[in-house]
Structure 1
Amino acid sequence: MSDAASRHQPVMLQRCVDLLAPALQHEGAVAIDGTLGMGGHTEALLERCPNATVVGIDRDPQAIALASERLARFGARFIAHHAEYDDMTGAAAAAGVDKVDGVLLDLGVSSLQIDEADRGFSYAQDAPLDMRMNPQDPVTAADLLRDADQKELARILRVYGEERFAGRIAESIVKRRESDPITRSAQLVDLVRACIPAATRTAGGNPAKRTFQALRIAVNRELDILEEAIPAAVEAVGVDGRVVVMSYHSLEDRIVKNIFADGATSQAPPGLPVVPEQDQPYLRLLTRGAEKASAEEAEANPRSKPVRLRAIERVRLTPPSRLRRTA
């Protein structure tokens, strides 16, 4: 077993493959795994779909290296693309095509990033507050805690972490950094714990988890990229192509849900005998609402517990009036 395979258990692996495989059976099929990670989903797709090539996108060079080693046995059927996951056009070009047949996005932080203590993603291990998915990016979590003003810190914690004590935590950060820079995860955990009333700490795990989530999202611009990536994924697939997205918190899932629902809904007024082409749905929902991991998977792989999976099929080209993003 490769190092990558031993360190990561892909979430909802079989369901993702089952949803994407029908679009990847023909000769020359191409899929994009927009969140390559350690290559588990890509490996399963390449094994299930022998006619397919998969382009794996990741902004983490370490993930690219580990996955490339794992997938070397597939030769030219796997192509690595070092970029942020909204670069669907670049990924398709890397495979020499204009349109692809499937896109998979497994959002959030990867096992590789959580398990590497010195990356600073985990509130369970003391480490420098880095949190960059791409180590070449200029701003770390420690930089953000040092430079952002109190209002901006409160906004980040409230919006990205849905933290009800955001104002109190932001005020404490600003006071603390005047004399003691907050550069390590243990410092931040202790600060957040002191800000949250004891009566509210008993449920929901570590009281710092929402703060860590918020900082990670802000450092990596995750929601900004996601708002570009979902329309880009839809436009990357041709007619009969499929897109599967797994989200791990409500902010991500809301973006995915709204964009998918918009494309699957007629824009014509009710009662028209004939719906104009430009008003017809161009997506078909493949899932009823958001699917969750089974109880068995959630028990075996705790990281699958919060997952929300949604999938669509492209049934026609997007009318120009409804394009959300141009290539």
Structure 2
Amino acid sequence: MIPAAHTHQTVLLEEAVSALVTAPGGVYVDGTFGRGGHSRLILDRLNSEGRLLVIDKDPEAIKEAELLAASDPRVRVQRGSFANIGAHIDAAGWSCIDGVLLDLGVSSPQLDDPERGFSFMRDGPLDMRMDPDAGLSASQWLAVTPEQEIARVIWEYGEEKFSRRIARRLVEARVEGAISTTGELANLISEAVPRKEKHKHPATRSFQAIRIHLNRELEDLDEALTACAERLALKGRLVVISFHSLEDRRVKRFMRSRSQPPVLPKGLPVRAVDFEPDFRLVGKAVKASGPELAVNVRSRSAIMRTLERVSAAKE
């Protein structure tokens, strides 16, 4: 059972694990360990022959994962991005897997810790890196990035209609010194936005956009989806939980493309219907239930999709 001390509220816990684990003696991957809510329930569903590889960029998540592995010999731990899932599976000595789970975006412990710089709800250092040992922090990035590029990131990844105004204000402010805290950034964005939305802080979209860019979230997702599908065994499943439209669009498009016949040029002496897809969609998109929404407001934007391999991988 999941320990009582484990208080992080895992989104779509039962739904995701039930969709994922179809072979109790199989080999599975949790590509986004977080604090291990999904992994612990996966282990509950596996027998003594089952194996679980857990992956995460975050050193705090890895500490938690290593504690789990120390108490359960079925668990292997790899620190890194799920974009490199093929290399992680190779390192574990496996050729294919029976299922992989990706729970996208930032975790509740990351959001709730002001030292990580993901949220403007409490002031803290402006970092936003899922792996604090790699790449530029948000403060460093804002200090050196041209105004046009800041505007592009905020528009493309945050769909913020005032992206240019915000970028201009940030570039003006950095002349006086580095933007070093989440509170500073949130206040500057609020100053730049001429019209406020009801029930939404004006910095919400910009924070999301900068975080997505710094962590290569969408690029990593595109790489991971392809790599995961390639490594699935027959009847293996890919389960993905998304939290915003940019992620879900990519997941939906990828799963549809893999589960439908190819689009063929006109005039070929074959028909698309003559090709059997290697994958199928499992059910419809799943959202959090009423009871879950009542206890975990962060689950309101979660969407889960599942893809299953239905023909053996070609050599």
TM range (shorter): over 0.9
Aligned length: 310
Corresponding residue for 1:125?
122
Corresponding residue for 2:9?
9
Cα distance 1:61–1:83, how it changes in 2: closer, same or farther (>3 A)?
same
Cα distance 1:70–1:136, how it changes in 2: closer, same or farther (>3 A)?
same
Given that residues 69 and 76 in structure 2 are in contact (C-alpha distance below 8 angstroms), is that contact kept between their aligned partners in structure 1?
A: no
Cα distance 1:209–1:4, how it changes in 2: closer, same or farther (>3 A)?
farther
Corresponding residue for 2:85?
88
Aligned counterparts, 1:143-162, within 5 A: 143-162=140-159
Given that residues 283 and 306 in structure 2 are in contact (C-alpha distance below 8 angstroms), is that contact kept between their aligned partners in structure 1?
A: yes
> Alignment partner of 1:218: what SS?
helix
Corresponding residue for 2:71?
73
**Where in structure 1 are there 5+ consecutive unaligned residues?**
321-327
**Post-superposition shift, 1:5?**
1.4
**Where in structure 2 are there 5+ consecutive unaligned residues?**
none
Cα distance in structure 2, aligned partners of 1:222 and 1:317:
30
Cα distance in structure 1, aligned partners of 2:263 and 2:147:
46
Given that residues 100 and 239 in structure 2 are in contact (C-alpha distance below 8 angstroms), is that contact kept between their aligned partners in structure 1?
A: yes
Cα distance 1:146–1:267, how it changes in 2: closer, same or farther (>3 A)?
same
Corresponding residue for 1:267?
262
Given that residues 268 and 275 in structure 1 are in contact (C-alpha distance below 8 angstroms), is that contact kept between their aligned partners in structure 2?
A: no
Corresponding residue for 2:279?
283
Cα distance in structure 2, aligned partners of 1:120 and 1:244:
29
Given that residues 283 and 314 in structure 1 are in contact (C-alpha distance below 8 angstroms), is that contact kept between their aligned partners in structure 2?
A: yes
Aligned counterparts, 1:20-31, within 5 A: 20-22=20-22, 24-26=23-25, 29-31=26-28
Given that residues 86 and 228 in structure 1 are in contact (C-alpha distance below 8 angstroms), is that contact kept between their aligned partners in structure 2?
A: yes
Cα distance in structure 2, aligned partners of 1:92 and 1:189:
40
Indicate which of 287, 310, 313 corresponds to 1:292: 287
| TM-score normalised over the length of structure 1 | 0.89
Corresponding residue for 1:116?
113
Cα distance 1:260–1:319, how it changes in 2: closer, same or farther (>3 A)?
farther
Corresponding residue for 1:325?
none
Cα distance in structure 1, aligned partners of 2:110 and 2:153:
21
| TM-score normalised over the length of structure 2 | 0.93
Cα distance 1:84–1:274, how it changes in 2: closer, same or farther (>3 A)?
closer
* Aligned residue type for 1:124: M
Corresponding residue for 1:60?
58
Corresponding residue for 2:226?
231
Cα distance 1:292–1:156, how it changes in 2: closer, same or farther (>3 A)?
same
Cα distance in structure 2, aligned partners of 1:55 and 1:151:
41
**Post-superposition shift, 1:181?**
1.9
Indicate which of 171, 176, 180 corresponds to 2:173: 176
Cα distance 1:181–1:104, how it changes in 2: closer, same or farther (>3 A)?
same
> Alignment partner of 1:309: what SS?
strand
Corresponding residue for 1:324?
none
**Post-superposition shift, 1:114?**
1.1
Given that residues 262 and 272 in structure 2 are in contact (C-alpha distance below 8 angstroms), is that contact kept between their aligned partners in structure 1?
A: no
